[in-house]
Amino acid sequence: METVNRYPRGYICRIAFAPGGDPVPEITNVSAQPSVEVLMKVRESNSSRDTSSWSFQGQVIALAAKLFGNFRQWLLLQLTTNDNIYDLNLRFLQDTVQFIRTGQRLTSVQNWLEMLAEYPDARPGCAGQQRADAFDIGDTHEFDDFISMWCSKEGGFEDMLCTMNVLFGPTKSTAKAR
Partner 1 sequence: MELPRWLASILPQFGKATVLEDIKAELKQLREVTVPVMKKYASMHGKRKFKNAWVKDIDARFDKRLKARYSGNFIVPVAEAMENAIVLLEIAERVVGDLPHDLVRDAMSLRAANAIQLIETVTFAQKYTRSLMLAAMAFEESEYGVDSADDVKVGDLRKIESNLDSYIQAIDILSLSEKEVGKKFEELPDMTVNRDSVPVAESTIGKGKTDPFKFGFIPVRWNPIYYVGIMLAEWHVQNLQLAKDEKDMLEFKLIQLEEAEKGNPDNAALQKRVQITRDRIERLRYKLDQEGMLDNGNR
Sole window of 16-24, 41-49, 51-59, 99-107 interacting with partner 1 (rule: CB under 8 A): 99-107
Nearest to 163 by CA among 2, 7, 31, 54: 7
Distance CA 29, CA 93 (A): 20
Distance (Å, whole) CA 10 – CA 82: 8
Asked if 44 touches partner 1 (CB under 8 A), the answer is no
Q: Residue 154 interacts with partner 1 (CB under 8 A)?
A: no
Is 81 near partner 1 (CB under 8 A)? no
Query: Does 111 contact partner 1 by CB under 8 A?
Result: yes
Helices (H), the chain: 34-44, 48-52, 54-68, 71-81, 87-102, 109-115, 129-134, 146-151, 156-168, 172-177
Alpha-carbon torsion 159, 35, 87, 16, what sign?
positive
**Choice between 81 and 108, CB closer to partner 1:** 108
Of residues 110 and 140, the one with the C-beta less far from partner 1: 110
Q: Which of 6, 91, 101, 153 binds partner 1 (CB under 8 A)?
A: 91
Only segment of 48-56, 60-68, 74-82, 115-123 that touches partner 1 (CB under 8 A): 115-123
Footprint of partner 1 (CB under 8 A): 87-88, 91, 104, 106-108, 111, 114-117
